[in-house]
Amino acid sequence: MSLRGRDFLTMQEYTKEELWLMLKLARQMKEKITEKEKRDLLAGKTLAMIFQKPSTRTRVSFEVGMRQLGGYAIYLNWNELQLGRGETIADTAKVLSRYVNGIMARVYSHKDIEELAKYADIPVVNGLSDLHHPCQGLSDLLTIWEKKGDLEGLKLAWIGDGNNVCNSLLIGCTKLGVNISVACPEGYEPDMTIMKWAKKNAEETGTIVEIIRDPKKAAKNADIIYTDTFVSMGMEVERTKRLKTFIPKYQVTSNLFRYALPEAIFMHCLPCHRGEEATAEVIDGPRSIIFDQAENRLHAQKAILALIL
C-alpha cells in the first residue's frame, strides 16, 4: 500500500487501513526502528514549513522529525514570505514545488491549505487550520492505542468547544471504531459537514457518534475525557463571552471523572489553561497523559512524512 505523493489535509481522505498503516509505522518508529534506519527514510529531502499561526509542538516536532528521518526542514513565517506582501498562494505553491519535496502549513483558514495543495506539485500536510488538525488527531489515536491496547469499542468524551481538534477526532474515531460523544453548548457544535462524514463513517464501522449538551452524560462510562482551550488563537475578542458560556458547566473536574470508567484517562492537545477548560488537579493529576500526547506528535508526523514524501 503506497501513500507516496498524497496530501494529508484531513483524515477523511484516508481509509481505515491507511490510517492504521500510519499508526503502526509511528509505533515502530518509536519502539523498534534503529536510528540509522530512520535517517535513511528521508535522506536528502526537504520540507518547507509555512506558519501563519505561532506554534510550539507543531514547529518543533516537524523540524526534529525531518532531522531524525535524515531530511531537512525550513521554517517560513507567512509574513516574512511574499505571501505577506500579496503574492498569491497559488504562485507560492508553484515556486516551492520547484525547491522542496513537501510543504507543511499551519494556517487560519482551511481554504488556504486547500488552495496550497491544489497548486502544489508536491505533498501538502495540514499542520492546523480552522476546521481540521489531522496531525493532532492521528497522534491522539496513537496515544490512546498505546495506553489502552486497542481502539475499537472505546468511548471518548469530548467536553467543550466543537473546534478543529474535535472535528479531526470525530473523523478519526469513527473510522477506527472509537465511540465519541461531544458535549458542547448550543452554537459551539462541530462543523456540520464533518458531522455528516463522521455519521457516515460510523455507519460503516458500527461506531456511536453523538452531540449532546450534558457533560455528565457524555462522560458516562467513558474511557477518555478530552478537552481543549475555550479561547483559541484568533478568538481573543470573544474571551469573556466564551468563558461565561463554558465555565463552570463544561469545565473538566475530578467530579466529572466520577461518571467515567475507573481507568479513564484525561487528554488535552495543549496549550492548556489551568482553571479554565480543566482544573489543575485534573491537568497535573495521575489520569493525565497530556505530555505523552505531545511526544507522539513527533512519532505520528514522522510516519506521515515517511509515507507521503
* Residue 233: pLDDT band with limits 50, 70, 90: low
Which of 63, 50, 48 has the alpha carbon at shortest distance from 101?
A: 48
pLDDT of residue 216 exceeding 90? yes
Place of cell 503502526: 24
Active-site residue (options: 57, 228, 251, 293): 228
Residue pair 39/69 in contact (Cβ under 8 Å)? The answer is yes
Active site residue 132: no
**Domain ranges, ordered by start, for the chain:** 34-130, 135-294
* Residue 231: pLDDT band with limits 50, 70, 90: confident
* Residue 162: pLDDT band with limits 50, 70, 90: very high
* Pairwise pLDDT comparison (151 vs 231), residue with the higher score: 151
Mean pLDDT (the chain) is 96
Active site residue 28: no
Active-site residue (options: 52, 136, 251, 293): 136
Active site residue 59: no
Helix (H) / strand (E) element for 300: namely helix 290-308
> Which residues pair with residue 155 across a beta bridge?
179
| Mean pLDDT for the stretch of residues 285-302 | 98
CATH topology of domain 135-294: Rossmann fold (3.40.50)
**Same fold across 34-130 and 135-294:** yes
pLDDT at position 200:
98
Strand, helix or coil for residue 135: helix
Active-site residue (options: 166, 173, 184, 269): 269
Tens of pLDDT, residues 50-86:
999 989 999 999 999 999 999 999 999 999 899 888 9
pLDDT of residue 16 exceeding 80? yes
pLDDT at position 125:
98
| Mean pLDDT for the stretch of residues 231-258 | 89
Q: Give the CATH superfamily of 34-130.
A: Aspartate/ornithine carbamoyltransferase (3.40.50.1370)
Q: How far separated are the first and last CA of the chain, in Å rounded?
A: 14
DSSP label at 227? Answer: E
Active site residue 85: no
Tens of pLDDT, residues 149-158:
999 999 999 9
Instruction: Among 27-31, 259-263, 269-273, name the one with the lowest average pLDDT.
Output: 27-31
In the chain, the largest separation of any two C-alpha atoms, in whole Å, equals 55
Active-site residue (options: 110, 268, 297, 299): 297
Q: At what angle do helices 134-148 and 164-176 cross, to 10 degrees?
A: 50
Tens of pLDDT, residues 23-37:
999 999 998 777 767
Active-site residue (options: 27, 57, 106, 110): 106
Residue pair 279/254 in contact (Cβ under 8 Å)? The answer is yes
pLDDT of residue 90 exceeding 70? yes
Task: Read off the pTM.
Answer: 0.96
Length of the chain: 309
Active site residue 133: yes
Strand, helix or coil for residue 131: coil
pLDDT at position 33:
72
Active site residue 268: no
